[in-house]
Structure 1
């Protein structure tokens, strides 16, 4: 294992997490509501933002099999990662051109940025499999996750200073300072990606011509075929089926809270500076809280802790309906930080108990891809609710349904029986990859 290259891989998480914090969670939603979508009817900005998220995730879901196939068939995964990084970083920096009323330009650039961010991660994950021994992957992946929290929080803190102290820093207006903030995301992303791009040495390409294997389109077709095969085989794992249905629901609720919270707060009149500062609190609460959540899982069990976290999320959504002040938003942001990372980690560990051990890679791949498709629903429900009721408060309350239904389904899952079902069928040729090319064709 090339330790310098692996350190570069870890730093990439520090680099691209700036997009997740500044562009998706904190600054851009406020800017979209107050500047880019200014002049639109009340509630329209939140609906357009939600629709932008849904369109972006749908594109990512459709592109995922193509990207996964390209990652496995390509002689240079790194080149694909560089290309999507440039796309995401350039889209972020070009957001500086979106001024007052430019909601369509902002939405288009955001879609491109999400495609670059999410699709690029397909190749990023593939590099981990190629360059890190299996017994060390979890530790390296966890370190990257920690660096991501720190990197995203570090730039968000810098960005907050730029926005709050815009006059002292010589910017002509807060809008101008915010536009420069978007430019810093692209620069940060590219700058801290350089250790990976310059140090990573890919395996030598085989001399065998590419025509001897499947094409990217053929491999992508096999990926979609694997989805259908996985859905059919789920009936053989009834506990896994119940858990996946629960996961699709509550995971969509969590992701909707993440991408809609700030623009919702802006829409009901919470001060924009307080919104960004509160999301910074979430970022720095999240790292120690995730570690503490893991200790509680060891004491009380993953199912109990995940169930408790979903009830907290339900409380967050309900309290969000009644939220009126910045203090309320700070409280809710802190609560999100307490459960966000831990709930996701517990959900993954529970899923691992229910899949056949010799097919875990295929089933985790299916979960990742199916979750991309279902993640379209949360923002879409938010948008429809806001449009039909004319109230963003009613829209945020509609997200509660994802947590209620997800929690109820989770209680019906017998994980002991599910583990027995998975072990009993281990080695069967009925998993998501049966009759299809090897699982390595997709990521």
Structure 2
């Protein structure tokens, strides 16, 4: 009988000794909770585990245990094997020396003589015998660790553990559960199957961090009965729930609050299409002293605070002409489907996309109009032919008190695109077409 993906994953983990753990770039609470919990568990099992996280762990996530153990770079080592045919000669002594930048290996024969044709070379094994990729839909999300070491990932068995519907099933074993609220929820079952008493307070805190992060503290539509059950189980194991809530949702740096205020002041709301959006131009970061990571969490605040919006979009320019889009939707509207319009993906309630070589103002018009079209096809609003009135939300999201700690993660902000008019000059129509073409080319 064929083994299930979970059984295959357990078999690989049990027989491996040196395991590499990686996750996506710009890791969130689920990614960090996943890689930390598995790192702690594998270490308990006597495995040599290496957790690679190239990005700086943000202040809001530094409460997660053992993040200081993360490896900031991945230097993949591989043995180089030199073989000598001893059929015509036998070796007596072996020595080596370094000279003029060269390694000289000296073999003294006991009988006969060695010839150059007796020597052959081959690449040996890597220092890792298993790779586990966490919370990543594809190799592009893993980023540099894969790009710089593709041969390792193509040679060594890979376990792909994820819950995103956009997952490419790129692993040797794919433990992908689209019904799970987070990757850490999947890991709970894996860890329990690896052995008894492996989940202590630190492991439970890491696992619960992923669930709370991806469900927005159980406010998002992906909060399932199982997610709540597993969360309760982790609290039973000693997970520090209040510490997680305080760090993820109740602590904001002063620069974060300044950035969020600037973004919220330009919030747009299209009542006809039940759509709200805002921008974060690159200039906002310099103006407020905030880092690009300080937009984290803003999109979720908007989704829970803007009345009447079924779709909320945050477009952030984290580098000039490099845009990240975050989408949140209410039940019944598929965020992943909307993100797919721009080459992105994610979950039904939370998704994202990336665009390059496009100015934020030009991208705003294209993105908003495409979402209006999507909503109109779904029976919401009137489409692009009738420019809907834009109405400001009745109350902005409530922000926490500023703290003196260093910056934390935020999300995106800014203005609203003018609706294309049937009487618009040809030049404007041309510009819009060029933008569409560039967007399509990039994604």
TM-score by length of 2: 0.24
Higher strand share: 2
Taking CA–CA contacts closer than 8 Å with sequence separation of 6 or more, which of the two structures ends up with the larger relative contact order? Answer: 1
Higher helix share: 1
Larger gyration radius, structure 1 or structure 2: 2
TM-score by length of 1: 0.24
